[in-house]
Amino acid sequence: MKRLLTFLSAAIFCAAIPRAQDDELAKSIERGKMIYSENCISCHMGEGEGIPATFPPLAKSDYLMKTPENAIQAIKFGLIGKVTVNGVTYDNMMPEPGLENEKIADVMNYIMNSWGNSSEKKMITVKMVEEVKAKE
């Protein structure tokens, strides 16, 4: 009987952890959607399609999904110079939007889970954003 209670307690505890992260990710995505609308939509457009030859797409973006730390860095510090996204080279400037680390994490979670992108429920955290430093 003790084993059964221990097993059931462990099962309930373990089942609650993914749901809590899923709920937190969903809240972060919702906040990120607002941040995207306020800061990113004018260049990367409403569906993340970007502007050909000018601003890279975020939708189905290999750059974003393969190297999220580079995307975090671009949001956190701005970006000048060439980047290649989905085989196309872009050479433009992205100004630093001046977002706090929490807002950067939220907008990254939104972008990484929209328009055909999937983070596979991996969440960008504030700690991850804090760890990204400016390139010298």
Each residue of 50-103: pLDDT tens digit? 999 999 999 999 999 999 999 999 999 999 999 999 999 999 999 999 999 999
For residue 90 the two structure tokens come to: 């872009």
Mean pLDDT of the chain: 89
Return the CATH class of domain 2-131: mainly alpha
- In single-letter form, the type of residue at position 28 comes to S
Tokens 């430093």, residue? 133
Q: Which of 84, 39, 31, 89 is nearest to 62 (CA)?
A: 84
pLDDT digits (tens, 9 = 90+) for 33-48: 999 999 999 999 999 9
Those residues with Cβ within 8 angstroms of residue 125's Cβ, 6 or more apart along the chain or in another chain = 105
Domain ranges of the chain: 2-131
Confidence of residue 22 (pLDDT cuts 50, 70, 90): confident
Assess whether pLDDT exceeds 70 at residue 9: no
Which pLDDT value is given to residue 135? 76
Amino acid 5: pLDDT: 47
On the question of pLDDT at 122 being above 70, the answer is: yes
Take residue 72 and report the two structure tokens written for it.
């975090």
